Amino acid sequence: MINVSIIGATGYVGVELMRLLHEHPEVEIKDLVSKSSAGQLLIDIYPQFRGSKLNDQKLIALKDFKAEASDLIFTALPHGVSQDIVAELYGKGPKIIDLSGDFRYQDVDIYEEWYGFEHRHPELVKEAVYGLVELNRSKIKNANLVANPGCYVTASLLALLPLINFKKADPYSIIIDAKSGVSGAGRSLKENLLFTETHNSMKAYSPGVHRHGSEIEYILNQYLKGSYTENKIYDSKVTVDSSNLEKEKNRVEVLFTPHLVPIKRGILATIYLDLKEASSAAEILEIYQQAYNQEEFVQVLADKLPEIKNIAGSNFAQIGFKYDQRTNKIIIVSVIDNMLKGAAGQAVQNMNLIFGFAENIGLKSTALFP
């Protein structure tokens, strides 16, 4: 049994973490830290926890939090805010899983360019392990600080990684068109996220400049350079040409456009990738099956395309594709729940790895549909 605390407990990610953790057989929730709601009972903010083990849990201020009493701390805080709090906590004993973007880049310059914040703790960036389990499992197991990936990034990387080193693929041709539910924007009040602003509508936002586009690029380039060679995605008999990064350009670039759709949760990413020579659906399917046939939370659909309703409320990702012979392009569709596999669920998956629990403990729920 481990003691776990959450800093930023009353945001959407925080409450999803609580929902998962309070049912986890190996976890005792120790402290829930909230800047805006310190002193209040959790059930007065989130009544769904009435009658549960958290019925009498009171939210506390950060100044009253004793980090040493926890084995693990989740920091579910805004970008730019998290880095100082993680720096204060790091080295006091607990493992830390950070759900902001503050520790996802080993290159501080890229972070500062895309996030617009000075990174005041570059020494900790070098300590952080990127927390996409299917890519970085062995390093996560021994990590003291895990940087949980972005939600759009998780959906996109899971779709792209098996193909990015495919000798017939052009890794410089990636276009990602992604849609997210409104919960991805967080719980703070914003006029453009009001019901009447989003209902019966759909819009693109931040095309070409969204931070998750830079994160996708960064991890893909690190992957192509060999930073994640311990992962079995690299071992496919079909994905062989790791030198193509240097043949054409210095780095892969991704054209990424996110969209807001009027649903509460879920991400659907449609990804376009050119091929340099003809392939077949069977060959592409083999690549995905080799990459993910041992991964419980990544489901490859051989004969259909995935839908958000089939994964919402679960920690599963579903991936399907269509090979278009006429244009010699692969169209990949990847779906996840942005609050679970894209945030809290993936964080719990990382926690399970770190503490030697079965990876699926607390994460076995299927989708909520209908």
Please list the active-site residues: 151
**H or E segment to which residue 332 belongs:** strand 329-336
Q: Which residues pair with 324 in a beta bridge?
A: 329
What are the structure tokens assigned to 1, written together? Answer: 């049994």
What are the structure tokens assigned to 295, written together? Answer: 């991964």
Which residue carries 């993910």 as its tokens? 292
**Cα–Cα distance measured from residue 150 to residue 184, given in angstroms and rounded to the nearest whole number:** 10
Longest Cα separation, the chain: 63
Per DSSP, the three-state class of 159 is helix
Residue 205 CA to its chain's centroid (Å):
19
What are the structure tokens assigned to 294, written together? Answer: 């041992």
**Cα–Cα distance measured from residue 281 to residue 296, given in angstroms and rounded to the nearest whole number:** 23
Residue count of the chain, please give it.
Answer: 370
Q: Which residues pair with 58 in a beta bridge?
A: 41
Residue 139 CA to its chain's centroid (Å):
16
Q: How far is CA 74 from CA 33, 143, 146, 256, in A?
A: 10, 14, 10, 29
**Cα–Cα distance measured from residue 159 to residue 124, given in angstroms and rounded to the nearest whole number:** 29
What are the structure tokens assigned to 252, written together? Answer: 């892969």
**Cα–Cα distance measured from residue 334 to residue 4, given in angstroms and rounded to the nearest whole number:** 31
Question: Torsions phi, psi of 62, nearest 5?
Answer: -60, -35
Looking at residue 321, the DSSP 8-state letter turns out to be E
**Cα–Cα distance measured from residue 339 to residue 13, given in angstroms and rounded to the nearest whole number:** 6
Question: Torsions phi, psi of 96, nearest 5?
Answer: -130, 130
What are the structure tokens assigned to 370, written together? Answer: 């209908």
What are the structure tokens assigned to 199, written together? Answer: 């209902």
